[in-house]
């Protein structure tokens, strides 16, 4: 090797070493997660708080920022609330860099993974308004017996009915379905030409309402066992399959709509199964469609619906958890939640706000009634993958074999729940 070549190699090596060093000094790479902090001792400092939230639109952004600003003025703690463009990704980056936001929206399907790697603080038991939250929501955010975070609000699924089509088909208030048989009858009467009686999305997040009404669950109530291949789930899927085949039910995608609300708004279907969010979408995009909201009918095992919620996650690495806790108590307080509900839709997660909410939203009480019998989706690490795979198979339920689908789901879910 000639001298120049060697010098070149040495220079190259030095440059590489320098880059490695530079990278090594970058923020976050020398900090190791502090696992020693006990669950009960919250950190306290005068550091300002940062909040990251996934906003549904300008109304939510403004409402959250206003509420936070009001608390900041009153408490003297500086807070910045930033809407995320991609919440999961930004949150992951924050945790990896060791500088996560102090508070953030956290969905139940994410909580187990973040709890497992110690990213989030289990502060639920220290909330002064702990007893006020709906019990089903508290269960949704409890992992291994620890109540992790305060539910910020919630939504349930209900039956949305186009009242004009309802009247046109000769149906009256007495015909509002309370059982599967009555739903069959109403859907059959409302199906006309290209229009389906009932539309919903091809995913467990909607179809799961029927399996729940048949008494089925994916994970046993105590959370220890996968029970996807139960005869109850089979009954639910077969019921849906039967009506997808006879055309009285239809997947919104098959009607040419992006989701159930669009199918309903475009009048491609006379009824839809959707959550609270549909009311905002309808008044914004389809203001002329008249509708009413009813509770989902009861199946062979009684009434059931699915609930969707997020909580205020708190970072374990946050330097000022005491202030963050106070802010959460403020944001989940009765007045504040009613204000949020008015601004962007979802229902307050606390029972003390229920009565006021009923008076304020008489047309939507069916959603809140669902809270009594609502179930959440499984929250085990990896359950999202299983449900996505389930959804992929539900798309072809019409031509598929429900039993075969459930066997696959059981096979996928068992290792997730067991492990």
Residue 242 Cβ vs other proteins, minimum distance, rounded to whole Å: 21
Q: Given its phi and psi angles, is residue 180 left (phi above 0), alpha (psi -120 to 50 degrees) or beta?
A: alpha
Residue 250 Cβ vs other proteins, minimum distance, rounded to whole Å: 11
Residue 385 Cβ vs other proteins, minimum distance, rounded to whole Å: 6
Applying CB under 8 A, the residues found at the interface with other proteins are: 2-5, 7-8, 11-12, 15-16, 18-20, 22-24, 28-33, 35, 88-89, 92, 95-96, 98, 110, 113-114, 116-119, 251, 253-256, 381-382, 384-386, 388-389, 391-393, 395-396, 412, 415-416
Angle between helices 321-331 and 58-75 (to 10 degrees): 120
Which is it for the CA torsion 258, 260, 261, 266, positive or negative? positive
31 vs 168 by CB, closer to other proteins: 31
181 vs 285 by CB, closer to other proteins: 285
Residue 22 Cβ vs other proteins, minimum distance, rounded to whole Å: 6
Residue 101 Cβ vs other proteins, minimum distance, rounded to whole Å: 14
The Cα–Cα gap between 248 and 119 comes to 47
Is 238 in contact with 186 (CB distance < 8 Å)? no
The Cα–Cα gap between 243 and 299 comes to 15
State the DSSP H helix or E strand holding residue 105, giving kind and residue range, or none if neither: strand 103-106
68 vs 115 by CB, closer to other proteins: 115
Q: Which residues contact 254 (CB under 8 A, 6 or more apart)?
A: 202
Which is it for the CA torsion 206, 207, 213, 217, positive or negative? negative
12 vs 302 by CB, closer to other proteins: 12
Spatial CA neighbour of 201 closest among 154, 254, 135: 254
214 vs 405 by CB, closer to other proteins: 405
28 vs 300 by CB, closer to other proteins: 28
The Cα–Cα gap between 357 and 341 comes to 8
Residue 240 Cβ vs other proteins, minimum distance, rounded to whole Å: 17
């Amino acid at each position: 090797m000639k001298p120049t070549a060697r010098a070149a190699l040495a220079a190259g090596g030095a440059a590489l070493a320098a880059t490695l060093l530079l990278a090594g000094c970058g923020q976050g790479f020398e900090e190791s997660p502090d696992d020693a902090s006990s669950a009960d001792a919250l950190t306290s400092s005068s550091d300002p708080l940062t909040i990251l939230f996934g906003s549904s639109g300008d109304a939510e952004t403004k409402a959250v920022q206003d509420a936070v600003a009001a608390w900041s003025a009153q408490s003297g703690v500086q807070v910045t609330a930033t809407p995320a463009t991609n919440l999961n990704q930004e949150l992951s980056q924050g945790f990896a860099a060791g500088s996560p936001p102090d508070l953030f929206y956290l969905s139940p399907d994410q909580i187990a993974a973040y709890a497992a790697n110690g990213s989030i603080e289990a502060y639920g038991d220290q909330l002064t308004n702990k007893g006020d939250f709906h019990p089903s929501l508290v269960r949704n955010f409890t992992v291994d017996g620890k109540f992790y975070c305060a539910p910020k609000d919630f939504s349930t699924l209900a039956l949305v009915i186009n009242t004009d089509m309802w009247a046109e088909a000769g149906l009256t208030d007495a015909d509002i379905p309370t059982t599967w048989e009555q739903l069959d009858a109403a859907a059959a009467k409302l199906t006309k030409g290209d229009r389906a009686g009932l539309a919903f999305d091809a995913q467990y997040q909607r179809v799961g309402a029927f399996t729940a009404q048949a008494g089925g669950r994916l994970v046993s109530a105590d959370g220890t066992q996968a029970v996807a291949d139960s005869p109850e789930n089979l009954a639910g899927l077969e019921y849906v399959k039967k009506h997808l085949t006879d055309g009285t039910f239809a997947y919104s995608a098959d009607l040419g709509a992006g989701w159930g609300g669009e199918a309903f708004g475009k009048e491609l279907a006379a009824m839809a199964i959707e959550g609270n969010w549909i009311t905002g979408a309808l008044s914004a995009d389809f203001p002329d469609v008249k509708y009413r909201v009813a509770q989902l009918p009861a199946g062979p095992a009684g009434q059931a619906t699915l609930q969707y919620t997020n909580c205020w996650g708190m970072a374990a690495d946050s330097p000022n958890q005491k202030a963050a806790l106070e802010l959460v108590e403020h944001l989940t307080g009765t007045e504040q939640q009613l204000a949020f509900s008015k601004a962007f839709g979802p229902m307050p997660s606390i029972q003390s706000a229920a009565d006021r909410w009923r008076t304020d939203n008489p047309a939507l009480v069916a959603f809140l009634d669902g809270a009594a019998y609502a179930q959440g989706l499984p929250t085990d690490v990896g359950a999202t993958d299983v449900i996505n795979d389930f959804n992929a198979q539900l798309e072809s339920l019409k031509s598929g074999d429900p039993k075969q689908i459930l066997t696959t789901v059981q096979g996928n879910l068992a290792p997730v729940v067991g492990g």
